[in-house]
């Protein structure tokens, strides 16, 4: 919708330019959807020219301005790096850094989460042409699929501060409540880096919604790392991401390496998620979200306790 209070749109990525009444404009799909009666300026980072996706041996860096459509196309590039886009995908600018790294991508089974998470958007593929990974994180909705994805994969956000500095923050410490982030006024999310260790893990994905292809009411991602660690990330059902990490050396009794028993997983959920942390809105009653969190967590635990190496989703 029109934002009639906006007096100017300025192309900048400098947090030093920010002043009260300003908003960072990435894809615009959230700002223009909700509208505003208080904002005066939009600071447009859309033309920053940041490389959307940078692949290295250390992992993947997603620019805040990487569109969901660009991210969605990544696994396909991993599978068939020499091919051009299939006609089903939106046109994308060439990404030489990516195409040079097909072998790395093939070693990262957790890339399968990308499409599962993109398809968890209630918004359709049309919105993906504009909306960005960074915008989804900064909106900080409990059901934000990019929060689910990057939190589950130990994503670290790089934030540009108003004094010209840079700080790093884990995604689960960036998204700290329903619509709330730990960003100070004026701070700009520059990118999210997902480490290769997490990408090499075996993963399991579970999601429930009150409607078919609707907004997530519960979204859980499990990870089994190469060192045997089990990591469970709860999103959508809770107001903020909740991560449970069971290290292989953990003192918690486990029935297979780092994977806890069903009882210990339940106990860990009990401890990590108090009643009031379950989200309450039109997309699911808290009592349902809670029970489904336990149900899906156990499904994920049971799946990852086995030696199978495929990633599955529901």
Partner 1 sequence: MTSQKNGMKINGTFTDIQPRPGQCLRTFLRERGNLGVKKGCDGGDCGACTVHVDGKPVHSCIYPAVRAEGRQVTTVEGLAGPDGLHPMQEQFLAAQGFQCGFCTAGMLMTAATFNSEQKENLPRNLKGNLCRCTGYRAIEDAVCGVSHVSTTGQQAGDNVGAPAGLAVVTGTARFTLDVPAAEFPGLLHLKILRAPHAHARILSVDAAEALAVPGVQAVFTHEDAPAQLFSTAQHEGYLDDPDDTRVLDDVVRFIGQRVAAVVADTVGAAEEGVRRLRVHYQVLPAVFDPEAAMKAGAPVIHGEKEPLQTRISRPQNNVVAELHSHLGDVQAGLAAADFVYENTYRTQRVQHAALETHASIAYFDDAGRLVLRTSTQVPFLVRRALCRVFDLPAEKVRVVCERVGGGFGGKQEMLTEDIVALAALKLQRPVQLEYTREEQFTAATTRHPFRIKVRAGARSDGTLTALAFDVVTNTGAYGNHAPGVMFHGCGESIAIYRCGNKRVDAHAVYTNTVPAGAFRGYGLSQMIFAVESTMDELAVGIGMDPMEFRRRNIIAKGDVMLSTQPEPEEDVILHPDSYGLDQCISLAAEALARGRDRERAAGVDDPGPQWLVGEGSAVSMIDTVPPRGHFAHSTVALLPDGRYQASVGTAEFGNGTTTVHAQLVATALGTTADRVRIVQSDTDVVEHDSGAFGSTGTVVAGKASLAAAEELARMLLKFAAVSSSADVSDCRLDASTVICAGVRIPLVELHRQAETAGTPLVAQGQWGGSPRSVAFNVHGFRVAVHSGTGELRIMQSVQAADAGVVVNPMQCRGQVEGGIAQALGAVLYENVVVGADGAVETKILRQYHLPTFADVPRSEVYFAKTTDELGPLGAKSMSESPFNPVAPALANAIRNATGVRFSELPLARDRIYLGLRDAGLPEAGSAQQVQRGGSIHVRSVGQVAAVD
Residues 146-185 interacting with partner 1 (rule: CB under 8 A): none
In this structure, what token pair is assigned to residue 37?
A: 């009666």
Decide: is 207 part of the binding site for partner 1 (CB under 8 A): no
Q: Quote the CA–CA distance of 188 and 190 in Å, as a whole number.
A: 6
Decide: is 2 part of the binding site for partner 1 (CB under 8 A): yes
Find the binder of partner 1 among 12, 14, 17, 32 (CB under 8 A): 32
Decide: is 109 part of the binding site for partner 1 (CB under 8 A): no
Helix (H/G/I), strand (E/B), else coil: 63: strand
CA dihedral (152, 33, 276, 231) in degrees, to 10, reads: 0
Decide: is 56 part of the binding site for partner 1 (CB under 8 A): no
Find the binder of partner 1 among 5, 83, 97, 180 (CB under 8 A): 5
Find the binder of partner 1 among 103, 166, 212, 251 (CB under 8 A): 212
How big is the site for partner 1, counted in residues (CB under 8 A)? 53
| Nearest residue to 104 via CA among 75, 84, 133, 83 | 75
Find the binder of partner 1 among 17, 99, 122, 268 (CB under 8 A): 122
Please check whether residue 13 is in contact with residue 31, taking contact to mean a CB–CB distance below 8 angstroms.
Answer: no
Q: Kindly tell me the burial class for residue 7, based on how many C-beta atoms sit within 10 Å of its own C-beta (0-12, 13-18, 19 or more).
A: exposed
Q: Which residue has the tokens 């190469």?
A: 226
In this structure, what token pair is assigned to residue 195?
A: 């480490």
Comparison of 10 and 184: residue with beta carbon closer to partner 1: 10
Decide: is 271 part of the binding site for partner 1 (CB under 8 A): no
In the stretch 126-145, what mask flags binding to partner 1 with x, by CB under 8 A?
A: xx-xx---------------
CB of 133 to partner 1, least distance (A): 17
Q: Of the ranges 54-62, 109-117, 253-261, 286-294, which one interacts with partner 1 (CB under 8 A)?
A: 286-294
Report the DSSP pairing between strands 254-256 and 259-260: antiparallel
Q: Quote the CA–CA distance of 187 and 163 in Å, as a whole number.
A: 9
Decide: is 48 part of the binding site for partner 1 (CB under 8 A): no
Q: Of the ranges 6-14, 106-114, 144-152, 191-199, which one interacts with partner 1 (CB under 8 A)?
A: 6-14
Pinpoint the alpha helices (H) of 44-132.
Answer: 68-79, 96-99, 102-106, 112-118, 125-128
Comparison of 59 and 144: residue with beta carbon closer to partner 1: 144
Sequence-distant (6+) residues with CB within 8 A of 15 are: 160, 161, 162, 164, 186, 187, 188
Decide: is 289 part of the binding site for partner 1 (CB under 8 A): yes
Comparison of 184 and 287: residue with beta carbon closer to partner 1: 287
Binding residues for partner 1, rule: CB under 8 A, are 1-9, 25, 28-29, 32-35, 37, 39, 41-42, 44, 46, 87-88, 90-91, 119, 122-127, 129-130, 208, 210-215, 217, 281-282, 284-285, 287-289, 291-292, 295
């Amino acid at each position: 919708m029109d934002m009639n209070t906006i007096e100017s749109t300025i192309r900048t990525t400098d947090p030093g330019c920010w002043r009260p009444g300003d908003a960072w404009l990435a894809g615009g799909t959230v700002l223009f959807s909700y509208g505003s009666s208080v904002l005066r300026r939009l600071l447009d980072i859309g033309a920053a020219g940041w490389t959307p996706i940078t692949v290295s041996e250390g992992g993947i860096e997603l620019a805040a301005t990487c569109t969901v459509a660009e991210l969605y196309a990544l696994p396909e590039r991993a599978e068939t790096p020499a091919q051009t886009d299939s006609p089903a995908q939106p046109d994308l600018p060439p990404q030489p850094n990516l195409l040079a790294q097909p072998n790395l991508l093939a070693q990262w089974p957790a890339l399968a989460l990308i499409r599962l998470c993109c398809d968890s958007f209630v918004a359709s593929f049309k919105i993906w042409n504009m909306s960005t990974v960074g915008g989804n994180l900064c909106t900080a909705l409990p059901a934000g699929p990019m929060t689910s994805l990057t939190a589950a994969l130990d994503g670290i956000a790089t934030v540009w501060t108003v004094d010209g500095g840079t700080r790093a923050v884990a995604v689960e410490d960036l998204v700290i409540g329903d619509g709330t982030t730990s960003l100070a006024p004026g701070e700009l999310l520059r990118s999210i880096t997902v480490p290769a260790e997490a990408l090499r893990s075996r993963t399991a994905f579970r999601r429930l919604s009150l409607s078919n292809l609707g907004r997530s009411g519960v979204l859980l991602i499990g990870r089994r790392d190469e060192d045997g660690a089990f990591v469970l990330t709860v999103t959508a059902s809770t107001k903020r991401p909740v991560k449970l990490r069971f290290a292989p050396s953990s003192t918690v009794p486990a029935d297979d390496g780092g994977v806890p028993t069903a009882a210990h997983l339940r106990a860990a959920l009990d401890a990590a998620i108090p009643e009031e942390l379950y989200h309450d809105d039109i997309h699911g009653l808290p009592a349902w979200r809670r029970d489904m969190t336990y149900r899906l967590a156990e499904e994920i635990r049971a799946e990852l306790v086995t030696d199978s190496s495929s990633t599955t989703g529901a």
